[in-house]
Amino acid sequence: MSTRAIVITGAASGIGRATALEFAKQGDHIVLSDINIEGGQETLQLIRDLGVQAHFIKVDVSVDAEVKAMTQLCIDKFGRLDVMVNNAGIGLDLKYFDQIEDDHWHKVIAINQTGVFYCMRAALKIMVAQKGGCMINIASAAGIGAAPRMGAYAASKHAVVGMTKTAAHEYGKFNIRINCVCPSVIETPMGDGYVGAQPELKSMMLQAVPMRRFGKSEEVAKTIAWLSSSDASYINGVAMRIDGGFRA
């Protein structure tokens, strides 16, 4: 496989960092982004320690100009953009629908939905011009079913699934594949933030997973890497569950 140019948002920790490391092991060049500069620099060093060319840029995906600067950095450094991984996202506190404040709603939608839209739009302009590319959006099990007390998050992730399927249909003719993955609870800082401090909730959620464990970032990363590879060359417009059977 020839060396590819990859952009990964939300790369400072969790699934984003694990995905960056997975691509780095394949020798791909990588642009990392996150609002967390310290974590992003840590990921960058881990990548460079593997002998791979990589760059970090601070990006708030809810700001279109910053997203455009990120994709332009990839073009400036590597000459193309082969794979875009739209991973940046937030969850915030658990709240019943009638208790969701405006700020909570708008912040989640701005990052998880509008941010993915900005990233997709910027990457698609490049991929259409170069006549090919691949995009993986990080949705959620909350984007393909109910997610009690996570109304804003569920709304945003349902939107990611919808945008993925629609764009896959529109851009397949340009040799661009667009898929998304739908993890359930994964052992990441965000996943731990939901269940780590609530033993009863953690126990209840574990019982809902047939495999009786939560997923690991590396398991999601390997799926993302496979979906972006030539082994998955005819997979387009898919929302792939990574949930231990939770939504089965």
* Burial group, residue 233, by CB count within 10 angstroms (0-12, 13-18, 19+): exposed
> In this structure, what token pair is assigned to residue 107?
């912040």
C-alpha to C-alpha distance for 139 and 169, rounded to whole angstroms: 18
Tracing tokens 């209840």 back to the chain, one arrives at 204
| Active-site residue (options: 153, 171, 194, 234) | 153
Between helix 37-48 and helix 14-25 the angle, nearest 10°, is 20
> In this structure, what token pair is assigned to residue 114?
């509008």
Whether 153 is a known active-site residue: answer: yes
Task: Count other C-beta atoms under 10 Å from residue 1's C-beta.
Answer: 8
Phi first, then psi: give them for residue 210, nearest 5 degrees.
-55, -30
Between helix 115-130 and helix 151-171 the angle, nearest 10°, is 10
Give a three-class secondary structure readout of 60-111.
CCCCHHHHHHHHHHHHHHHCCCCEEEECCCCCCCCECHHHCCHHHHHHHHHH
99: alpha, beta or left? (left if phi > 0; alpha if psi -120 to 50): alpha
Residues noted as catalytic: 153
